[in-house]
Amino acid sequence: MKTVHIPEKFRHYYDDWHFSAAVDAGPMVYLSGCTASHPDKDMPDDPEAQFHDAFAKLGAYLAEAGLGFADVVEITTFHVDMRKHADTFAAVKDQYIGEPYPAWSAIGVTELMHPRALVEIRAVAWRG
């Protein structure tokens, strides 16, 4: 049996786009990709601010599932201009994700759903 988690602040994603913020599947929790898009669909232009906002949204998804960043076992990040922002992204990531570090795959893409988005972060957490 699976359980879905939807933070009220981001309920419009579930209603409009038909996806859950997080889905429990046994001890594993799968979290949808997070960009820096705010509920009003605004997004900062500054890359560092975007990265912080994306991790904050991921944190809200984790919290709704009763988890935190320490429970993350894998992240996959999708980047527009990956090499240009790699150092800044890594520095921001390290403010949220600590040791023991999860598995991480970083993938360069040409665009994301929001036209100004520079990163989307998806994660898998373990309810251990």
Instruction: Tell me how long the chain is.
Output: 128
Residue indicated by tokens 């795959």? 105
d(CA 34, CA 128): 23
pLDDT under 50 in the chain at which residues?
Answer: none
Tokens of 38: 């705010």
- Contact between 65 and 125 under an 8 Å Cβ cutoff? The reply is yes
Which pLDDT score is estimated for 14? 87
Which pLDDT score is estimated for 79? 98
Give the start-to-end residue ranges of the domains of the chain.
2-126
Which pLDDT score is estimated for 12? 85
Give the model confidence (pLDDT) of 70-88 as tens digits. 999 999 999 999 999 999 9
Which pLDDT score is estimated for 2? 84
d(CA 115, CA 97): 27
Q: 2-126 maps to which CATH number?
A: 3.30.1330.40
Instruction: State the alpha helices, DSSP H only, in the chain.
Output: 11-12, 47-64, 82-96
57 φ/ψ angles, rounded to the nearest 5 degrees: -65, -45
d(CA 26, CA 63): 17
Which pLDDT score is estimated for 52? 98
Kindly compute the dihedral angle of the four CA atoms of residues 114, 61, 57, 90, in this order, to the nearest 10 degrees. Answer: -100
Which pLDDT score is estimated for 39? 77
